[in-house]
Each structure stands twice: as C-alpha cells, then as structure tokens.
Amino acid sequence: MAEIQLRNISKRWGSFVGVENFDLTIADKEFLVLLGPSGCGKTTTMRMIAGLEDATEGDILVDGTKVNDLEPKDRDVAMVFQSYALYPNMNVYENIRFPLKVRGIDPKTHDEKVRRASAMVELDDFLHRKPAELSGGQRQRVALARAIVREPNVFLMDEPLSNLDAKLRVSTRAQIKNLSHELAVTTIYVTHDQIEAMTLADRVVIMKQGVVQQVGTPVEIYDRPANTFVASFIGSPAMNLIEGSIENGVFRAKYTEVHGLDAPDGPITLGFRAEDASVVHDGSKGEINAPIYTLELLGDSTMVSVRLAGQLVSVKADKTFRAEIDDTVSLHIHTDHCHLFDAKTGARLGE
C-alpha cells in the first residue's frame, strides 16, 4: 500500500515560488503524471516527495504517516532520472544489484531478484556488459531494472525518456506502461511531453509557474480543458484558439462567424480541435473562410492551416485533399465540440 497525500505543500526560495499550495491525494497503485513546461514546478514537487527538497509549507503523508522529516533513504521510494546515473566500472548485473547490497538485503536472494528485474526490461543478454557498451535505450532500461529490484512502495520517474530518440521513446514508453501494469506500484512520473502524459497516466496534473491548472484523466483533460493554457498544452496539434467576440449567440473574428453559441455578449476565446472541424467540399460557406497558410501531409490525413489575425488555425482534412497555399478554403466547425473561454482570465466558461 502506498497512498500519497500532498497537503497544501509549497516550495519557495526567498521571493521565488517553485510550487504553490499543491493539494492532492495519489491513490495506491495509481500512475500519476506531472506535466508542464520547464520551470513549472513538476520536478520540485517530485523532489519534495523523495525528500531531496524540503517543503517550505505543507505536509507529505505516505499511507497516513507524515514523512516530511524522513531522510530520502527512509521513504521507500525508487527514482529513475533523465540521466541514467549508472556506475561505469560495474557491469549491468552489478548495477542492478547495487541497491540490494546498499540496503543490506540477504545476498542469497540477490541473483533471483536481479534476474527477475532484468527479465522484465529484456536485459538478460546484456548483464555482462559495462554501461559504455550499451545504447541510450539499454542504459535507461538498466536504470529501470535498478529501481524495480528494490521493490519500493513508490516509483518516481523524472523525464526518463527525454534523452532517447523518437523511436526509442515509443518502445520504452510502451515498456514503462506494461511495467506499471505488471508491478502495480504507485508511480509519479514527470514530463513536459504531453503524448507521454496522455498515453501513460491514470491521471494527469498540469502545472504552470508552480500552480496546478487541472487534475483529471487524460480523456477529461483533452475533452474539457479548464483554461486556455491547458487547451494549448494538450493535443497534437494543440487546440485552436480564436480571439473574438460574441453578440446574440454569434461569434465573430477575422474570416470567422460561428452561430448558435450559448455565452454572454462580449470578448471571448473560441476553441476547437483540428479533428472537430472539416473542409467544406460542396461549394457552401463554412464558419471560417480564409486563404490557406500551409498544408502538411501526415500520411493518414492532411493538416490544413489558415491564419486569422496572427493566430494559426489547423483542421484535419482527408489525405487526398489537394490545394495550393493562398487558395481560399472554407472550414466547417462542429459547434457541439466548441469550447468557450473567458477572454481575460482564460478560464473555461459553462458547466
């Protein structure tokens, strides 16, 4: 069991606020992802849980026991870092075994534990090699195995895939997903990559400048972003956001007119995702009529982008769609999938 409670924890260095009033309960066996841009406070939050940073305010509880004053070694957490932090003079077997030696685990059990951990990350053929003889992906798997062998209550993973190339990131991500299912250990995972967050997490915490913006399942955050920051951070491409105004249920902006929206009159930001709009082919007028800014063939579809007063708006068209830059294109927005945000605060409007 490892339920983690973060009770209004904050971290400050003088006047600089790293994390502000973070309040959350992480369920036993949950895979929680802390997501946000560099400097948003996600790694600082993880380091406070690990005991590598002291919280300025608030309490950290594991299974109801306050751990603020416990040393990192006494918190029963295993960390996997962006840098693999392997011992270059030890082979893979000894690197994986090292935590067992340090913690005084019965040597008779070492071999079984090491080989079980190495099998989980498919390293059995590399146990005799030194880290310098391994690829980046293999080194990261050694770091994972070294964390697994400890059998901790909590896994903490800080940007573990960021040093890998795109193909290795995909395969290692799948391995981490499978491991989390197999090991069923509470996991807190830090990343700035929204695809990692969406594919790995049971729940995602999105942070900005030390403040939590939204907590929810990947589907909840994708379908109902709490504000324009979340909307612009989640999704590939990010949600289209058009600044304009509403009058009598009609939204207007450059090249744009959308009817049937339920919002008070005044300035507003309209949001919709690329897949929730389409190119009009029958000669009728859609809600957006503008010159094409760029076309990108993605294989399964074509991304059509237009510029509206400096704002780039992208719509997914069929892969067979053909046109030229500067051709006028008519785009239909499915109003059932529109999102409305306060023009000043960026907060979501409506229920």
- Residue 316's nearest CA partner among 256, 241, 237, 255 is 237
What would you measure as the largest C-alpha separation in the chain, in angstroms?
Answer: 77
Q: What is the mean pLDDT of residues 314-338?
A: 92
Q: pLDDT tens across 264-318, in order?
A: 999 999 999 999 999 998 778 899 999 999 999 998 999 999 998 788 999 999 9
Identify the pLDDT of residue 1. Answer: 61
The residues pairing with 204 across neighbouring beta strands, listed in sequence order, are 33, 216
Least confident stretch, 1-5, 66-70, 230-234, 269-273: 1-5
CA 186/CA 180 separation, integer angstroms: 8
User: Identity (one letter) of the amino acid at 318?
Assistant: D
| Average confidence (pLDDT) over 114-132 | 90
Q: What is the pLDDT of residue 43?
A: 93
Given a cut of 90, whether residue 59 has pLDDT beyond it is: yes
Mean model confidence pLDDT for the chain: 91
Q: What is the pLDDT of residue 351?
A: 62
Question: What is the arithmetic mean of pLDDT over 16-39?
Answer: 95
CB-based contact 192:198 (threshold 8 Å): no
Domains of the chain and CATH, by start: 4-230 (3.40.50.300), 237-342 (2.40.50.140)
Range name among 9-13, 157-161, 255-259 with the lowest pLDDT average: 157-161
pLDDT in tens, 183-232: 889 999 999 999 999 999 999 999 999 999 999 999 999 999 999 999 99
The residue that leads in pLDDT, 258 or 282, is 258
Helical ranges in the chain per DSSP H: 42-50, 92-102, 110-120, 136-149, 166-183, 194-200, 218-223, 228-233
Q: Give Cβ neighbours of residue 189 (< 8 Å, ≥ 6 apart).
A: 31, 32, 33, 34, 157, 160, 176, 196, 200, 201
Q: Looking at per-residue confidence, does 55 or 171 come out higher? A: 55
Q: Predicted confidence band at 50 (pLDDT cuts at 50, 70, 90)?
A: very high
DSSP notation for 203-226: EEEEEETTEEEEEE-HHHHHHS-S
Half-sphere exposure of 206 (CA within 13 A, CB side): 25
Q: What is the CB-side half-sphere exposure of residue 161 using CA atoms within 13 A?
A: 23
pLDDT (0 to 100) of residue 306:
95
Task: Give the confidence band of 69 by pLDDT, cuts at 50, 70, 90.
Answer: very high
Band (84; pLDDT cuts 50, 70, 90): confident
What value does the mean pLDDT take over residues 103-120?
A: 90
Those residues with Cβ within 8 angstroms of residue 317's Cβ, 6 or more apart along the chain or in another chain: 278, 279, 301, 302, 303, 304
The pTM for the full model equals 0.89
